[in-house]
Amino acid sequence: MEELRRVPLSDPDALLPAGFWAAVTVWLERPQVANKRLCGARMEARGRTLRSHAQAECGPRQGQRHGHGLEREPGQASPKGEPESGPRASCEGTAPAADLNSLWDRVSQSLVHANPEMLAFLYGPSLGPQPEAAQELDLILRTVIPKASSHSPLTEPKKELVVQDVSSGSVTFLPLEEDNEGNLEVKTSNVYQLHLHHNEGEWFISVLIFCPERWHSDGVVYPKPAWLGEELLSKLARWAVENRKSEFKSTLSLVSLLRYSRMYQELKEKYRDMVKVWPEVTDPEKFVYEDVAIATYLLILWEEERAEKGVTTKQSFVDLGCGNGLLVHILSNEGHPGRGIDIRRRKIWDMYGPQTQLEEGSITPSDKTLFPGVDWLIGNHSDELTPWIPVIAARSSYTCRFFVLPCCFFDFVGRYQRQQSRKTQYREYLDFVLEVGLSCGFHVQEDCLRIPSTKRVCLIGKSRTYPPSAEVWMDDQRTRYLHSRQGHPQSRPGGAHAPSAPQTAAHDAGLQESRRTVDAGSECVLEGLAAEQGAGAPAPGLWVPGFCPREKAERVRNCAALPRDFVDQVVLRVANLLLDRKKFNTGNSEARNLKTWNGGGSLSLAEVAAELNSETLQRLKRECGGLQTLLKNSHQVFEVLNGRVHIRDWRRELQRGKPPEAKRSLSAAVFKTRICWFFAHHPDGCVLPAAHCPFAHGPEELRLSQTLKKQRQAP
């Protein structure tokens, strides 16, 4: 046995020992958070047994087991003795309880007779007589799933038996392999343990290896011991004393991790050439790989849905607000009939071919925008349509389902207005869309995608909370809910389908509690407010007055339309603040001493804003993002990290390695097409020699940009 490393823990909030078990749970259920070469882990079975006083009789005896190997449901006690409220791992393929019991019987007996050293490692030093409750062992059977990669052969998933001994503060990972008869047995290699110690008022966490000379590293599921001692232990130590809980579920909790990993790699290889031919101004790598990931998720979700229903016909879909249409293109190519609709045509649409059906048009929620023959409605960053998609799906047909990935915060009419400061704006908006789905009669599930975006939580409505015979009553409830969101007085229609008084009172109380106001920042919303105040009812077929789809011609509000002189003035002002208000010298900079180059300090965005006059701030506020957007757009001069502004040091840029291929080609096209700001304005000149700087050191180095060349060559 070897202790690789021991780390002291600072616990000012008194989170230990519970924090240690919370950190262990992350490593158990979401190992990909620490080991980026993993896709995740699948919890196969959970159980509990009693540790005998006599270690020689460690095998669980008849009648000693608690829980009989059954998986503990969310909300039951965890090893740290508290209800589990965190995200649960996907448990597809859960092993029967009897299998876990049988496995532990074989393992414990084999350790007693054939490997007492591993038994001693598993149990640690004797703690003397303990209360029976303190001798419980938690057993977890998990499958660790490696990430599929084109750069290395696919490593097969590995099974592990994890033994948590709360009384001794240890959790031991026992690798499993199949014998000739197909039974799982413990391997003697790659056995390791995490241990929490408390000594003289101080907490420590350590990682131990049972037999270091037998450790075999595959570089994926089992990294080198040094990685366990440095990377993993450091992360566990940090998680154990972090006083925060995630507002969101674990990623990919509703689909098979193994299937996702393999399919994502296949689709990524299949559609990676889209990055090279991307004609839009958006970042090709982000959008291509994000849509590949979303498509992978939907394809597996639908694949599993077909298996559940015992059908083979692939689901149809409509993507509302489809944007560049790549998601529609991938889903169609993979055999799902469907189409995309967006108010504005994109250049890339022409590249997909006739099999990808994309339509230019607006969607105004009404009786005319229903899709009765469609299985799924998709809202991928669908902006003002996001809260409407559950409504449209519910009214299209009883069998229509929905998938939404909310991004921008919209209510049914206008911008969504926050009501609860206790939640983040994003969490509150997700809860609102979830509320819409529930009010429309859906069982709504939440999951977190693996995409390069901060807004990656999706909401899924696969089934209804009511039978088909109650459709008329349920649609009346939807109408009431829509009107309550717009401030309409609630009607009380009678008839066979009218709800009872208690139902109505309870329903109305819930709606009153969740009521928000609408944004009055646009002409469309003002029209809606006028209608609410008695200017008239919605037009025939429309569900609410005042809804307005986004403009067909997208308005540029990213500070790019601001006058160049104004932008230069702000850049100089901010740079002056960062360089301690030194006056700029615009003389020859090549001869300056680069060793003493002034990189300036850093200021928060609030501190920068406080130094600008009100007129400048008001002008910036009219642009999306305001001051922060202007500074980020001026990336030659500034770097904005975690809300703080710094002078960019181009020496570090050259040390960051090669950029992606698409960005390399872009960099080559703009090389030396603009004057170097530092050469012209910085008191110490440019930190790079002219040969290495991507910007021109003087007019003689300036090249004509490709755009200007094309304009001059045009007839």
Domain limits, the chain: 2-50+96-125+133-241, 257-484, 557-581+598-648, 661-714
Strand partners, 402: 377, 461
**Domain at 557-581+598-648, CATH from 1.10.10, 1.10.260, 3.90.550, 1.20.950:** 1.10.10
CATH architecture of 257-484: 3-Layer(aba) Sandwich (3.40)
Does 689 score more than 80 pLDDT? Answer: yes
Does 576 score more than 70 pLDDT? Answer: yes
Mean pLDDT in the chain? 80
Mean pLDDT of 513-527: 33
Given pLDDT bands bounded at 50, 70 and 90, which one contains residue 144? very high
Higher pLDDT: 1 or 93? It is 1
Higher pLDDT: 462 or 707? It is 462
Mean pLDDT of 620-644: 83
Both tokens of residue 191?
Answer: 């056995």
Given pLDDT bands bounded at 50, 70 and 90, which one contains residue 123? confident
Query: What is 25-65 written as a DSSP string?
Result: HHHHH-GGGT-TTEEEEEEEEEEEEEPPSSGGG-SPPTT--
State residue 243's pLDDT score: 73
Which DSSP state fits 276? H
pTM recorded for the entire structure: 0.64
CB neighbour list of residue 455: distance below 8 Å, 6 or more residues apart: 381, 405, 406, 407, 426
Given pLDDT bands bounded at 50, 70 and 90, which one contains residue 58? very low
Does 707 score more than 90 pLDDT? Answer: no
Higher pLDDT: 538 or 496? It is 538
Given pLDDT bands bounded at 50, 70 and 90, which one contains residue 346? very high
State residue 72's pLDDT score: 37
State residue 96's pLDDT score: 56
Both tokens of residue 525?
Answer: 């919303």
Both tokens of residue 251?
Answer: 């990623």
Distance, in Å, from the CA atom of 121 to the CA atom of 135, rounded to the nearest integer, reads 16
Given pLDDT bands bounded at 50, 70 and 90, which one contains residue 432? very high
State residue 688's pLDDT score: 92
Both tokens of residue 596?
Answer: 């003493």
Burial pattern 664-676, b for ≥16 Cβ within 10 A else e, equals eeeeeeeebbebb
Given pLDDT bands bounded at 50, 70 and 90, which one contains residue 560? low
Given pLDDT bands bounded at 50, 70 and 90, which one contains residue 235? very high
Please count the CA atoms within 13 angstroms of the CA of 277 that sit on its side-chain side: 11
State residue 98's pLDDT score: 61
Place of tokens 């031991």: 172
Closest CA to 322 of 301, 339, 298: 339
Does 582 score more than 70 pLDDT? Answer: no
Count of Cβ atoms closer than 10 Å to residue 5 Cβ: 17
Mean pLDDT of 227-256: 86
Distance, in Å, from the CA atom of 48 to the CA atom of 55, rounded to the nearest integer, reads 17
Dihedral (C-alpha) 690, 693, 697, 703: value to the nearest 10 degrees? 110
Both tokens of residue 604?
Answer: 């928060």
Mean pLDDT of 310-339: 97
* Burial of residue 142 (number of CB atoms within 10 Å: 0-12, 13-18, 19+): buried
Distance, in Å, from the CA atom of 325 to the CA atom of 341, rounded to the nearest integer, reads 9
Distance, in Å, from the CA atom of 308 to the CA atom of 293, rounded to the nearest integer, reads 23
For 391, the 3-state DSSP assignment is helix
pLDDT digits (tens, 9 = 90+) for 437-492: 999 999 999 999 999 888 999 999 999 999 999 999 999 999 999 989 875 333 33
Strand partners, 378: 319, 403
- For residue 703, the one-letter residue type is R
Does 81 score more than 90 pLDDT? Answer: no
Please state the φ and ψ torsions of residue 562, each to the nearest 5 degrees: -70, 145
Dihedral (C-alpha) 230, 232, 238, 241: value to the nearest 10 degrees? -120
* CATH code of the region 2-50+96-125+133-241: 3.30.530
For 208, the 3-state DSSP assignment is strand
State residue 91's pLDDT score: 43
CB neighbour list of residue 117: distance below 8 Å, 6 or more residues apart: 210
Helix, strand, coil shares, percent, the chain, to 5: 35, 20, 45
pLDDT digits (tens, 9 = 90+) for 661-681: 434 444 566 788 889 999 999
State residue 376's pLDDT score: 98
Mean pLDDT of 136-164: 85
State residue 543's pLDDT score: 92
Q: How far is CA 8 from the centre of its chain?
A: 31
**Could you tell me the sign of the dihedral formed by the alpha carbons of 570, 572, 578, 583, in that order?**
negative
Quote the Cα angle for 368-373-374, to 5°. 95
State residue 705's pLDDT score: 66
For 109, the 3-state DSSP assignment is helix
Percent of residues, the chain, with pLDDT higher than 90:
48
Distance, in Å, from the CA atom of 90 to the CA atom of 254, rounded to the nearest integer, reads 6
Given pLDDT bands bounded at 50, 70 and 90, which one contains residue 215? very high
Mean pLDDT of 357-363: 94
State residue 159's pLDDT score: 94
Higher pLDDT: 535 or 122? It is 122
Does 365 score more than 80 pLDDT? Answer: yes
Both tokens of residue 602?
Answer: 């850093």
* Burial of residue 345 (number of CB atoms within 10 Å: 0-12, 13-18, 19+): middle
CB 338, CB 357: distance < 8 Å = yes
